[in-house]
Amino acid sequence: MLRWGLVSTANINDAVLGTTNPPADRFVAVGSRDLVRAQAYAQDKGIPRAHGSYEDLFADPDVDAVYVSLPNGMHTEWAIKALEAGKHVLCEKPFDRDPAAVARAFDVAEARGLVLAEAFMWRHHPQVDRAVQLLADGAIGNVRLLKASFSFVLDDPANVRLFRGLDGGSLMDVGCYCVSGLRTLAGAEPMRVQAERVDGGDGVDVRLVATLRFPGDVVATLDCGFDIAPRAELEAIGDGGTLKLLDPWHGTDPVIELRRAGGPEDRKFEGEPERIRVDAPDKYLLELEDFEAAVRGERPPRIGRDDAVAQATTIAALYRAADHAASTPESIP
């Protein structure tokens, strides 16, 4: 098994620590900005070694790979430093809002023969491949419309997600799942986007709504927010039916709901929708196993360069579109 180091004491670490019992079988070290915090964390989580800086973690010769769970705005800088120190890197989502920065990180990884991947756990869940296969098999006819939502109420003003300097914002935090979901179901990259944002916190988008145009006249809607009730939705609508993932992002209760319309003369829905139940394995474990297989040279990681750069390209376009809508509004008198 790969020997992993944790870059920070972030809350999300618990998800990956939970993949191994005891955690020390996979996670051998943690680095924090603060040595005392690193030591307390290591003791609490059962991690053998604690380092008082991320650089010290990267200098640890008994660490093969690191998991970057820093706030969004620090991902690329520290992923590159880890790569330069010779570590494979699994970087939390969203990698970066600047596609050129993501590409730079992959340049460093490729130059050193190291594995770099974006950690989008939802994509490792088997319900995703199942849904994509159903669409490819024509379960809902020709796909015409896609819809994705992810929101919750964030009341903690100190949360990293509300700070502009750390690249917070609802699109970066939860909307990035919607971007990934739409791109995955479309099986293509969007050609153009429009967006509206509502700001809060320290000047970040606390709500963002967008439309995306994909090749083949497929259109999509996306909405995300920190100030609306919790929702998690991903749906494809075709000329022959609808396909909805009822728990798309977490996949703890994964069901794909399929409604097929009648034949050409009668396009109505009849009866109850078909509910396809899918296994719910630990998606974080699948993510780590995917990465470890890539390090062993068995296959490229599921979310490698092209995917991560395309994801950041769409996020950047959505922010540009939202800024454009605010600066040159099509006002109604």
Binding site for ligand NAP (CB under 6 A): 8-12, 15, 32-34, 37, 69-72, 74, 92-93, 119, 121, 160, 173
Phi, psi values for residue 330, rounded to 5°: -85, 80
Contacts of 194 (CB under 8 A, 6+ apart): 210, 211, 321, 325
- Known active-site residue 93: yes
* Cβ closest to ligand NAP, residue 71 vs residue 181: 71
Task: Show the DSSP H helices in 53-125 as ranges.
Answer: 54-58, 75-84, 99-112
Task: Find the shortest distance in angstroms from Cβ 271 to ligand NAP.
Answer: 36
Least distance between ligand NAP and beta carbon 63 (Å): 16
Q: Give the DSSP per-residue string, 300-316.
A: --SS-HHHHHHHHHHHH
Q: How far is the CB of 18 from ligand NAP (least distance, A)?
A: 12
* 136: CB partners within 8 A, 6+ apart: 187
Cα 9 to Cα 69: distance, rounded to the nearest angstrom:
8
- Distance, CA of 66 to CA of 71 (rounded, Å): 15
What's the CA gap between 290 and 249, in Å, rounded? 18
Looking at the Cβ atoms of 218 and 318, the one nearer to ligand NAP is 318
| Smallest separation, CB 10 to ligand NAP (Å) | 3
Question: Which among 279, 12, 289, 18 has a CA at the least distance from the CA of 128?
Answer: 279
In the set 87, 93, 147, 283, the catalytic residue is: 93
- Greatest distance between any 2 Cα atoms in the chain: 71
Tokens of 164: 């502009």
Cis peptide before 94 (omega within 30 of 0): yes
Q: How far apart are CA 41 and CA 37, in angstroms?
A: 6
Amino acid at 275: R
Under a CB-based contact definition with an 8 Å cutoff, are residues 104 and 76 in contact? Answer: yes
Cβ 173 to ligand NAP shortest distance, Å: 6
Please, what is the minimum distance in Å from the beta carbon of residue 211 to ligand NAP? 24
What's the min distance (Å) between Cβ of 9 and ligand NAP?
3
Cα 159 to Cα 172: distance, rounded to the nearest angstrom = 14
Query: Toward ligand NAP, which CB reaches closer, 71 or 248?
Result: 71
Pairwise CA distance, residues 95 & 102, whole Å: 7
Angle at alpha carbon of residue 224, lines to 174 and 101, rounded to 5°: 50
Q: How far apart are CA 312 and CA 95, in angstroms?
A: 7
Active-site annotation, residues: 93
